[in-house]
């Protein structure tokens, strides 16, 4: 929690499901960038599993690629924008 209160740039975390889940557990992630691959798998590890509370996110940006993949940029919703249905920045 102390790290979030200090000035400085954002700290990107890529490819570490265990680390991301640990940060989520303590509500330390402000922005999520999720790459959706257009493949349906019958099994595998659930990324958002393992005792993590529900996270209500707001869509900030969406980018589609020729491959069919989509990157969604989302932010945690603050209490005051629970009903908001528009795109905005995470700032």
Could you tell me the CA-to-CA distances from 72 to 5, 8, 26, 31, 49 in Å, in that order?
A: 26, 24, 22, 10, 19
Any domain includes 23: no
Q: What is the DSSP letter of 37?
A: P
Any domain includes 18: no
Q: How confident is the model at residue 28 (pLDDT cuts 50, 70, 90)?
A: confident
Is residue 83 within 8 A of residue 56, CB to CB? The reply is: no
Q: What is the pLDDT of residue 78?
A: 65
Tens of pLDDT, residues 47-89 = 666 677 778 889 999 999 999 999 999 998 765 455 554 445 5
Name the residue range of residue 82's domain: 30-91
Q: What is the pLDDT of residue 89?
A: 57
Considering the entire predicted model, what is its pTM? 0.69
Any domain includes 40: yes
Q: What is the pLDDT of residue 9?
A: 74
| Total number of domains in the chain | 1
Any domain includes 69: yes
Q: Pick the closest to residue 53 from 12, 73, 24 (CA basis).
A: 24
Tens of pLDDT, residues 1-13 = 676 677 777 778 8
Any domain includes 5: no
How far apart are the C-alpha atoms of 81 and 79, rounded to whole Å? 6
């Amino acid at each position: 929690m102390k790290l979030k209160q200090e000035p400085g740039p954002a700290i990107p975390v890529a490819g570490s499901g265990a680390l991301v889940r640990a940060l989520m557990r303590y509500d330390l992630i402000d922005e999520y960038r999720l790459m959706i691959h257009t493949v349906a798998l019958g099994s595998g590890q659930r990324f958002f599993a393992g005792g993590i509370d529900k996270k209500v996110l707001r869509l900030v940006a969406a980018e589609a690629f020729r491959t069919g993949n989509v990157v969604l940029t989302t932010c945690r919703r603050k209490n005051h924008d629970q009903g908001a249905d528009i795109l905005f920045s995470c700032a």
